[in-house]
Amino acid sequence: MGHSRVEADVVSYNSAMGACMKAGQQHHVPELFQQLCAVQVPPDLVTFNTMMRACGVHWQKVCDLLQDLAVSSLEPDLVTYSSAMSVFEKHGHWEKVLGLQEELSVNEVETDRILWNSIVSACAKGSQWERAAWALETVRPASLRADIITYNAAINGLGKGGEWELAHQRLVELKARQCQANLVTHNAVINSNTARQKWQEAWTALRGVAEAGMEADVISFNSALSAGGSGGSGPWKGSLSGFEDLQRRGLRVDAVTMSSLVGCGPSQWHLAVSFLSLCGSMTLQGNIVLCNAALGTCSDSGLWQQGLSILRSLPGAKIQPDLITCSAALSACEASERWQEALLLLEELQHLRPDVVAYGAAISACEKGGEWRQALSLAQELVEGALQANHIIYNACISACEKGGEWQRALDLLGKFEDTRLKSDIVSYNAAISACENGGQWQHALLLLDAVGIKRLRRDIITYTSAISACDKGEEWEMALEILDDLQTSRLQANIVTYNSTISALAKGTEWQQALSTFEMLQQRAMQVDIVTINLTMSACGAGEQWQLALQFLTEAQNTVSEHRILANIVTYNAAISACEKVGHWRMAMFLFSALQKTKQQPDVISYNATISACEKTDHWQQVLLLFSELQAMGQASVISFANALGACGRSGHAAESPELLGGLERSTAGLMPEPAGRREKGETQPWVNLGFQI
């Protein structure tokens, strides 16, 4: 008996594809579609619609299908548009949803409520609240009356988009239309409050579920618990109470629940550890996720010891750490500037093959600890391990060199950064400029400032402040003023540190009038000056022999009574005494010195030297020797102190005191002589001279 060959047609394929969809086997639908095309069976509209429904997360495939459909002779129908919109809506592509809405309007395709629900939800998720409101208005005719799904989509989307007032308006409107709210509605309201960290409102909304005669589900509790995890005394107590309520109701706790509890706030790290221990006795998938959340809490609050404690407890809980665990634990060490622990931990976790993120956390820990050698060593190790250094690695290494006073290495690293495919950013240049500033290399700092402009990087306040500070240390007050002027023409707002650095540069250049002008500029801009500003301005006045102005600043600092009271400190008094010393007002200098002694702050060697110098200039040698003897008794007499005392004795004709003073001077300077070159141990070299961070 012969067998006849039966050729499958498009109806057969459509039936098979539909059966796969009903059975939840969507992944077989594309295979059937490929077979259909392979045997050259032309797909029809049902085929395209089924394929779109099967795309799921692959929204790009929907775009391809719509394009194929457009070049065919087939006309899309309501199912086509609804299927495509549903996929785009789930992925937040509101613009594609609205594009399809315009197309179906042109094609005069009749719409339904489901399609408009997708439009409302897509617009709301994309924070296109005006378009969402328009879509909601469109479905108001009796034939397309908005249902609970429509309102839920709007409330949920608007809440996530931060439009909480509009979300609340939709809720009020829903009730006014006598549309029965369901659990999804209540969960959307809870989520809305969670998104804006309104934990009290979130828990009130959760209680509203029971008041509406409904049973809250685990999603309801998870949303409220997430709001309770924002920290503070109230939220974590709410989290604990909510967790107990959830257990009483017999609801199944999942990984999301425990993650919310574990992240209950930096100040409640012990609760995070307790909840993590509870996870060990529960059959939850994703325990490592909970562990990582707990480590994240420790990292945020700088609790490196607790973070390491959690890490050490994993083997007992039969939890295998992953790279995220490794990075989170290292970040906890970084936040606490525990670079030694970070290095030990990185060594222990080598079996996990630490990635760039893990190395970045360890290098940043070394950078914060000022350990530039260790930072560069880790960077070298990273490269030798065939890992590619990123911006974070380079910037951390440059910053480590800056903190270690290695400005040449910082510039070398910046140069290597420029040679890579990566593009250096403003953080890189800021660290390099700061390194030059700390190294007293103001010329290099200004060259880098120019390079920032050439590369069209956006300068920030750190860029300008570091450059001005470099000019201050180089006593280049004119350049400091020029940079400040450039800053003021930009959209950036100079801070108090910027102005302080400028005034300091002016003080060193004896430009007291410019310093006063800058101080007045601060006041005109209603900026809150600090004691550093006062002290620097006083120093500028002193350098310009404007001792009366310096004393006026001191008086204002002493008498200021306000919410932001500025208390005069020893530097303030020293600046005033030095101002009097410059013009030889020894009585006023002595008066200020006596006033300083009556405060809680004791005079230091600068106070003594300035007062001694004021007396020495006016030949009051008795006062000089009295003050000098006090300073010598304290063991703080410096070369300047001896020089002033000798000068006073010499000018007043009391040379008998000189031999004793000269002997004291010789003893005080014995330890200041440079060490003979021959004393260095044979073979001793400077460490890390040939450090190679080759990238």
State pLDDT tens for residues 477-507. Answer: 999 999 999 999 988 889 999 999 999 999 9
Domain final residue pick, 566, 582, 607: 566
In-domain check, residue 649: yes
Please give the tally of structural domains in the chain.
2
Please determine, for residue 430, whether its predicted confidence score (pLDDT) is greater than 80. Answer: yes
**Which residues constitute the domain of residue 637?**
569-667
pLDDT number for residue 206: 76
Do 480 and 547 lie in one domain? The reply is: yes
Quick one: pLDDT band at residue 227, thresholds 50, 70, 90?
A: low
Do 523 and 487 lie in one domain? The reply is: yes
The answer to whether 345 touches 330, Cβ cutoff 8 Å, is yes
Please determine, for residue 224, whether its predicted confidence score (pLDDT) is greater than 80. Answer: no
Please state, for a pLDDT cut of 70, what percent of the chain lies above it: 70
Cβ-based neighbours of 249, under 8 Å, separated by 6 or more = 215, 216
Q: What CATH number should be reported for the domain holding residue 626?
A: 1.25.40.10
Can you give the pTM of this predicted structure? 0.60
Quick one: pLDDT band at residue 657, thresholds 50, 70, 90?
A: low
- Identify which of 605, 452, 575 has the alpha carbon closest to the alpha carbon of residue 504: 575
* Greater pLDDT, 315 or 677: 315
Q: How many Cα neighbours within 13 Å face the side chain of 106?
A: 8
Measuring CA to CA, how many Å separate 448 from each of 106, 171, 235, 411, 504?
A: 58, 56, 47, 9, 22
In-domain check, residue 603: yes
Distance in angstroms (rounded) separating the CA atoms of residues 324 and 634: 56
Do 617 and 543 lie in one domain? The reply is: no
- Span 241-260, mean pLDDT? 64
72-76, 214-218, 281-285, 402-406, range with the lowest pLDDT = 281-285
- Residue 337 gets the label, from left (phi > 0), alpha (psi -120 to 50) or beta, of left
- The number of beta carbons lying within 10 Å of the beta carbon of residue 693 is 21
Do 601 and 647 lie in one domain? The reply is: yes
- Span 427-450, mean pLDDT? 94
Quick one: pLDDT band at residue 107, thresholds 50, 70, 90?
A: confident
Do 601 and 618 lie in one domain? The reply is: yes
Q: Work out the mean pLDDT of the chain and round it to a whole number.
A: 77
Tens of pLDDT along 279-309? 554 544 446 776 777 677 667 666 667 677 7
Distance in angstroms (rounded) separating the CA atoms of residues 589 and 575: 10
Q: Is the dihedral of CA 457, 458, 462, 463 positive or negative?
A: positive
pLDDT number for residue 120: 73
pLDDT number for residue 278: 55
- Residue 526 gets the label, from left (phi > 0), alpha (psi -120 to 50) or beta, of left
pLDDT number for residue 689: 34
